Amino acid sequence: MSSVAVKEDNALKVSRANCAKNTVVDVKGCSIGGEEIVVIAGPCAIENEEVLKETAFKVRALGATILRGGAFKPRTSPYSFQGLGVKGLEILAKVGESLNMPIITEVMDTEEVSLVADYADVLQIGARNMHNFSLLKKLGQLNKPVVLKRGLAATIEEWLYAAEYILAGGNSQVILCERGIRTAETWTRNTLDLAAVALVKDVSHLPILVDPSHATGVRSLVTPMAKAAISAGADGLMVEVHPEPEKAWSDGEQSLTPNDFNHLINEIKPVVKASGRRLSL
């Protein structure tokens, strides 16, 4: 399936030939895929209510509209922190409700879909699960937005086909997320493929986010790549923020401080304006 085939094959639900108009996904009044740029922010992992509440309060005040936080954490090492599970979901839902912020969190298993859906406004499929076809089919039966992250070394073709699984199941609320792919480069965590963002906007009607935190793994690169992502046509950003990154239970090296996040918001504002769009508030 080449990009030309995707563009021209109206049999594929993911193809722009099937839907010429951009899909806009509504998340409790927050539109993703329209004129507004959405910023999703929060810690990599939910550690406790105090840290999440502090983070959420600060990112909300600075311009984030959706709160992120991992309750179930797929980690490379089985000895790394794996998340608080149900307790984390409860904390995330409580903090999100207190600040009137929609929440997004990852679901890892078909057996957890109903559980996570009871708490979250948006369900995320992480890079490691992009090829979990049973999970994709299950989410296709759900009437809730799904963020589908690109796999660790997935081609654009494979990524779009993964989205097709969800769409084919009946769930049209799919949001793609470019989070970098694995290459020979070792100075960054992954290689952010911004060409994929522009290409996907051309061949598909689905909205697309960029996660510059996971894409780079380097705190100082998050803001520059966030600006580049918006220039490439991204509909929003997903950024990791922690009050004290050096004490974070996971991914502290790529997490922004609240001050860093404030700088990011100020830096992207002129780029958003130059792109003829506006920030979602």
Q: Report the pLDDT averaged over residues 20-27.
A: 96
Q: Which DSSP helix (H) or strand (E) runs through 26?
A: strand 25-27
Measured between alpha carbons, how far is 205 from 175 in angstroms, rounded to an integer?
A: 10
Q: Is 139 helix (H, G, I), strand (E, B) or coil?
A: helix
Domain residue limits, the chain: 3-74+81-271
Rounded to two decimals, the pTM is 0.95
Dump the DSSP string for 178-247: E--B--S--SSSSB--HHHHHHHHHHB-S-EEE-HHHHH--HHHHHHHHHHHHHHT-SEEEEEB-SSGGG
pLDDT for 6 = 67
Q: Is the pLDDT of residue 2 over 80?
A: no
Q: Is the pLDDT of residue 268 over 80?
A: yes
Domain at 3-74+81-271: CATH code: 3.20.20.70
pLDDT tens-place string over residues 92-112: 999 999 999 999 999 999 999
If DSSP codes are grouped into helix, strand and coil, which group holds residue 164? helix
Confidence of residue 219 (pLDDT cuts 50, 70, 90): very high
- Count of C-beta atoms within a 10 Å radius of residue 201: 19
34: Cβ contacts below 8 Å, ≥ 6 apart: 22, 24, 235
Residue-level pLDDT at 276:
97
**Can you tell me which residue has the tokens 């790549």?**
225
pLDDT at position 11: 83
Give tens-digit pLDDT for 108-121. 999 999 999 999 99
Average pLDDT of the segment spanning 58-66: 97
| Rounded mean pLDDT, 62-66 | 97
For all residues of the chain together, what is the average pLDDT?
95
